[in-house]
Amino acid sequence: MIQSRRNFIKSTSAIATGAVLKPFMFKGKLTPDVMTYPICVFTKCLQFLDYEKLGETLSGIGFVNAELSVRKGGHVLPENIKTDLPKVVKTLHKFGVSAPMMVSDVISSNAPDTEIVLKTAADNGIKYYRMGYLTYDPKITVEKNLDIHKKTFEELETINRKTNIYGCYQNHSGTRIGGPVWDLYSLVKDCDPAFIGIQYDIRHAVVEGGVSWPLGMKLLSPWIKTTVIKDFIWQKEIGKWKITNVPLGEGMVDFETYIEEYKSLGIEGPVTIHYEYDLGGAESGKKNPTMSLDKISVNLKRDLDWLRGKFTEHGLIKNFT
């Protein structure tokens, strides 16, 4: 039975992304060459803007896709999702910006609002959501932790199938689930990649994996349906090393190798830029950043242009108008 399920997963993984992507189209100035690789922006860094100003700002920068923050403190609060999500999606569309993705707090199928959040998102054209974070219980073994969280993935897969949405778990440096990257394979290996998988974050993978990160990426590739782009450096301060986030191309992520791996593994789907370097507090979602919107916009456009250029260089997207 397990082998049969694995064969099913293997056969569907090659077409899962296309099946999910076909239902929505992206309006804007870009040609159809970018349909497979829509570049989004995680809106956490613009949470101080109302919906109208958000759409105007994204359109002015050149973003035609957004990964909306739909969680506590985000652009849309989960308890208000039925009224506020349709508003923000409609407003963004007015400015030629689509919302194929959202970041959520969803971590349990048993939470009373999980199905409401996911169904409302799907009904408003959102095809992918990022899950909340899961933690290791230090009182039990790593293996037992993974057994528990594996059930979480299986249960969410069922709800995702029911509501027709795709759930992604982000690998994130640190000691939570997904820090080592390899632990995620235990959680998704028997899941259907058409409904649940990984939001692969190359920055966090490099922090934890050094130069071995391609192995984890290969292992997880059938379940990688969305990806995160950002960069960092290690910096010594007062005798201690710390991670410092920097603009794209200025840090330690080997984007040349990453994009070639990305291409060779046949990964497709939305790519989202996360802005975590200094934006006067906007990078942390603050409502009153000290950096002006004009200056924040310059930073956002710089990274967008850099990524478009890099993807074009590697033959992923081209012919911008």
Is 39 domain-assigned?
Answer: no
Predicted pLDDT at 285: 94
Is 45 domain-assigned?
Answer: no
Tokens of 230: 């950002």
Q: Please give, one letter per residue, the 3-state secondary structure of the chain.
A: CHHHHHHHHHHHHHHHHHHHHCCCCCCCCCCHHHCCCCEEEEHHHHCCCCHHHHHHHHHHHCCCEEEEEECCCCCECHHHHHHHHHHHHHHHHHCCCEEEEEECCCCCCCCCCHHHHHHHHHHCCCCEEECCCCCCCCCCCHHHHHHHHHHHHHHHHHHHHHHCCEEEEECCCCCCCCCCCHHHHHHHCCCCCCCEEEEEEHHHHHHHHCCCHHHHHHHHHHHEEEEEECEEEEEEECCEEEEEEECCCCCCCCHHHHHHHHHHCCCCCCEEECCCCCCCCHHHCCCCCCCCHHHHHHHHHHHHHHHHHHHHHCCCCCCCC
Phi then psi for residue 29, to 5 deg, are -90, -5
Spatial CB neighbours of 144, under 8 Å, sequence gap ≥ 6: none
* Predicted confidence band of residue 272 (pLDDT cuts 50, 70, 90): very high
For the whole model, what pTM was predicted? 0.86
pLDDT per residue as tens digits for the range 96-123: 999 999 999 999 988 889 999 999 999 9
Whether pLDDT at 92 is above 70: yes
Domain count of the chain? 1
Is 245 domain-assigned?
Answer: yes
What is the distance between the alpha carbons of residues 126 and 103, in angstroms, rounded to a whole number?
11
Is 67 domain-assigned?
Answer: yes
Whether pLDDT at 7 is above 50: no
pLDDT per residue as tens digits for the range 296-306: 999 999 999 99
The answer to whether 269 and 225 are in contact (CB under 8 A) is yes
Residue type, 291: M
- What value does the mean pLDDT take over residues 119-129? 97
Is 43 domain-assigned?
Answer: no
pLDDT per residue as tens digits for the range 33-84: 444 578 999 999 999 999 999 999 999 999 999 999 999 999 999 999 999 9
- What value does the mean pLDDT take over residues 266-281? 94
Is 115 domain-assigned?
Answer: yes
Whether pLDDT at 233 is above 90: yes
198 is in which domain, residue-wise? 2-22+55-313
Lowest mean pLDDT among 203-207, 235-239, 292-296: 235-239
pLDDT per residue as tens digits for the range 137-193: 999 999 999 999 999 999 999 999 999 999 999 999 989 999 999 999 999 999 999
* Predicted confidence band of residue 135 (pLDDT cuts 50, 70, 90): very high
Is 220 domain-assigned?
Answer: yes
Tokens of 142: 């790593």
Is 125 domain-assigned?
Answer: yes
Residue 296 Rama label (left phi>0; alpha psi -120 to 50; beta): alpha
Percent of the chain with pLDDT over 90: 80
The torsion of the CA quartet 57, 60, 66, 72, rounded to 10 degrees, works out to -10
CATH number at residue 124: 3.20.20.150
Predicted pLDDT at 5: 43
- What value does the mean pLDDT take over residues 272-277? 96
- What value does the mean pLDDT take over residues 236-249? 92
